[in-house]
A = this chain, B = another copy of it.
């Protein structure tokens, strides 16, 4: 079987100018980055804002296995299926982070015959957005430490600096560091740490901003430290909101690329789905909705995590809610939820599929509770058996929900035609969307609602630290913000080993972190890793480039 990169390199790309024309964009509307990438200036959105808004399909999934269930692949393949049916369609995806690409993943732009191209560029530096965010994030840190060094006029407590530096790499040795060593000419010594860039609040800010103006306002509000009197210190307070916005003036423009079948794709922004909300940028999705009749987008991890945050956080900025939701499942993952050991997932086990269905069922009901119609996409693997598929199909249909066997990895858009057919009638109806919670309710009520109604938990406990932080948040007038849950992606609960559809469990909120620029309060339910490490044999060991510039080892 061909690897993803071999399939990608064998594909013939269409010049991006022609891809742009498919959705009515002329050469003058776009900024080329090489022959196969372009940025869309923000005035494109203005120019087309009177276009009728397209229909929005959100692709999410059950609680995944570590390998992921193929959400991006289904998203891309589904778009190509709509394109094959003659629909004017666009994909709106997240940008991959280089750290995991060099570490474990090797690549993250769909897979098989459902990929976005040029996959090498998208997986590496792309158009530089993430590098701009790294730079902006670290410039704030440098200005902050310079303020400490230059007499500390803002009375910043060096023990209470929240803002960390970032790199777009997996680098565990930077998780906990001390900086400012070497005497008085070299800054003020303090504890510090590095996150991966996609965990930076700036990434979340960029993805939720609705204009350059909004971006600057949000950046100014980011809380980076506390004073000795515990009052918050913001980016605005240190006087660099303008400079930081300037550093992001190009990063905020959505990136246009194409799927392997030539469907226009906007790939823009990629915040972590645990510590942040895990969706591509509002501006990209907004733009796609004005350019295409159908837009397919995805949210990180499962429907309980990225899905919930898409609906309760992103849509409030997007001013558009999904017309349909696709929940991606694999038999492998369902069997895992059914109690099968990781090493036995390729063996037929109908009973385990039936037991694991409990996970899918709760996700279906959760999405339906928002008032959005649901279709299940079974992302097919070679090891799937007819009998297992029949069990799953029956159980899903018993809920009155349609299920589609998708084979987009092996067949591209053709393998998603059935899914597109099942979605099409839903797009004719107006979904009766309603939020899970109102912003005006208290922080604890909002978290309670998520835990009891989405996770199926019984009760929320708050640590003493979280209680203190809740008071500070209320005192600062931030209590009306939505909640960004930071929990494991593997379980509905805060315990990765509680698979399927656990009940009666309690959840402990360890910390509440105000992300005022992003505009949400992070509720930390466990040790969330914000700087991954490298494995013993990093994927990079196999990466190479020929003398002619051809890349190998991305996969």
B-contacting residues of A (Cβ < 8 Å)? 31-35, 39, 41-42, 98, 102, 124-125, 127-128, 131-132, 134-135, 138-139, 141-143, 145-146, 148-150, 167-182, 185-188, 211-213, 216, 239-240, 242-243, 245-247, 249-250, 533-534, 536, 538, 540-541, 543-549, 551, 553
Residue of B nearest to A182 (CB): B176
Contacts of A32 in B (CB 8 A): 32-35
Asked if B172 contacts A149 (CB within 8 A), the reply is: yes
The 19 listed contacts between A and B (C-beta, < 8 Å) are A41-B549, A125-B131, A135-B168, A138-B167, A142-B173, A145-B171, A145-B172, A146-B173, A173-B188, A175-B181, A176-B181, A177-B179, A177-B181, A178-B181, A211-B547, A212-B547, A216-B545, A240-B543, A245-B545
Contacts of A549 in B (CB 8 A): 41-42, 212, 249
- A33-B33, A135-B125, A213-B547 known; A171 vs B141 contact (CB < 8 Å): yes
Q: In the complex this chain forms, how many copies of it are found?
A: 2
Contacts of A239 in B (CB 8 A): 541
- In the docked arrangement, what's the CA distance between A33 and B246, Å? 18
Please tell me which one of the listed residues B148, B172, B185 contacts residue A185 in the complex, with CB atoms under 8 A apart: B172
- A32-B34, A35-B31 known; A98 vs B176 contact (CB < 8 Å): no
Question: Measured between C-beta atoms, what is the minimum distance from A123 to chain B in Å?
Answer: 10
Asked if A173 contacts B150 (CB within 8 A), the reply is: no
Q: Which 7 A-B pairs have the closest CB atoms?
A: A173-B187, A242-B544, A176-B182, A131-B131, A243-B540, A145-B173, A243-B543
- In the docked arrangement, what's the CA distance between A157 and B372, Å? 59
- In the docked arrangement, what's the CA distance between A141 and B541, Å? 14
Contacts of A180 in B (CB 8 A): 173, 176-177
- In the docked arrangement, what's the CA distance between A171 and B142, Å? 5
Asked if A173 contacts B179 (CB within 8 A), the reply is: yes
> What would 18 more interface pairs be, CB under 8 Å, given A142-B534, A143-B534, A143-B538?
A31-B35, A32-B32, A41-B549, A42-B549, A98-B135, A124-B246, A131-B131, A142-B169, A146-B534, A175-B182, A175-B187, A177-B181, A178-B178, A178-B181, A239-B541, A246-B545, A246-B553, A249-B549
Asked if A249 contacts B545 (CB within 8 A), the reply is: yes
Please tell me which one of the listed residues B538, B543, B551 contacts residue A146 in the complex, with CB atoms under 8 A apart: B538
Asked if A243 contacts B541 (CB within 8 A), the reply is: yes
Please tell me which one of the listed residues B39, B132, B145, B243 contacts residue A544 in the complex, with CB atoms under 8 A apart: B243
- In the docked arrangement, what's the CA distance between A177 and B178, Å? 5
- In the docked arrangement, what's the CA distance between A177 and B186, Å? 10
Residue of B nearest to A548 (CB): B212
Asked if A249 contacts B178 (CB within 8 A), the reply is: no
Please tell me which one of the listed residues B42, B98, B553 contacts residue A242 in the complex, with CB atoms under 8 A apart: B553
Contacts of A213 in B (CB 8 A): 547
Contacts of A127 in B (CB 8 A): 128
- A128-B125, A540-B139 known; A551 vs B246 contact (CB < 8 Å): yes
